[in-house]
């Protein structure tokens, strides 16, 4: 186990649930009929499960896994595809679901490769965004919370694979 520990609760479980429900309704309003949701593993798995349950009506799901070659709390900028989608995107309204947009490099890579697969539309929903950390100007249509540059864990986000199971978002400190 690491020496870093989650300390301050940045976003409580109740705050997250309220915001995720709002995002789900906004997404359904924009896509009343067809919606194909792509979750980016691993971090998005809890956000996806809550978001999907708050979207009424028809939704199809698929999963991708990518790794940013991150070591500890820093990101290297390189993105590697670990698992591709199971189904094609031609003519579908596609929503990428991410847990966090930090430098924006991972999402830029995902948007590039998915837009090349001829979706009818392509948008992105992320729970957390750190605008101060952006290295590339990436478009995110649905943002849960803009946060300061803290290293955060919980609700799917990890530090060395720990803390993904926390129901809230906490700041990791020594
Ligand atoms: C996190 C997160 C995003 C990416 C964002 O994934 O899920 O995919 O980093 O960082 P960026 O904006 O700087 O590219 P991570 O590589 O930690 O993998 P995980 O989702 O499996 O935890």
Q: What is the residue-level pLDDT of the chain in tens, covering all 174 positions? A: 557 888 899 999 999 999 999 999 999 999 999 999 999 999 999 999 999 999 999 999 999 999 876 655 556 667 888 999 999 999 999 999 999 999 999 999 999 999 999 999 999 999 999 999 999 999 999 999 999 999 999 999 999 999 999 999 999 987
Neighbour order of strands in the sheet with 169-173: 5-11, 169-173, 152-153
To test ligand 1's pocket by mutation, which of 48, 76, 99 has the most ligand atoms within 8 angstroms of CB?
A: 99
Q: What is the predicted pLDDT for the residue at 159?
A: 94
Structure token digits, residue 163: 């803390």
Q: What is the predicted pLDDT for the residue at 48?
A: 98
Q: Which conformational region is residue 121 in: left (phi greater than 0), alpha (psi within -120 to 50 degrees), or beta?
A: beta
Task: Give catalytic status of residue 30 as yes or no.
Answer: no
Ligand 1 site residues (CB inside 6 A) read 40, 42-43, 67-68, 70, 75, 98-107, 158
| Global pTM value | 0.93
Q: What is the predicted pLDDT for the residue at 1?
A: 53
Rounded to the nearest whole angstrom, what is the distance from the C-alpha of residue 39 to the centroid of ligand 1? 12
For atom 10 of ligand 1, which residue has the closest CA?
102
């Amino acid at each position: 186990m690491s020496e870093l520990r989650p300390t301050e609760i940045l976003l409580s479980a109740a705050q997250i649930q309220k915001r995720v429900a709002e995002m789900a309704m906004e997404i359904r309003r924009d896509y009343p009929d067809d919606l194909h949701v792509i979750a980016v593993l691993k971090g998005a798995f809890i956000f996806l499960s809550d978001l999907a349950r708050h979207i009424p009506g028809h939704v199809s799901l698929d999963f991708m896994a990518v790794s940013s070659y991150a070591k500890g709390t820093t990101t290297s900028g390189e993105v590697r595809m670990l698992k591709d989608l199971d189904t094609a995107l031609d003519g579908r309204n596609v929503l990428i679901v991410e847990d966090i947009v930090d430098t924006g490099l991972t999402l830029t890579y995902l948007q590039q490769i998915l837009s090349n697969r001829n979706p009818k539309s392509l948008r992105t929903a992320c729970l957390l965004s750190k605008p101060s950390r952006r290295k590339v100007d990436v478009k995110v249509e649905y943002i849960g919370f803009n946060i300061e540059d803290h290293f955060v864990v919980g609700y799917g986000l990890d530090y060395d694979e720990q803390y993904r199971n926390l129901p809230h978002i906490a700041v990791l400190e020594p």
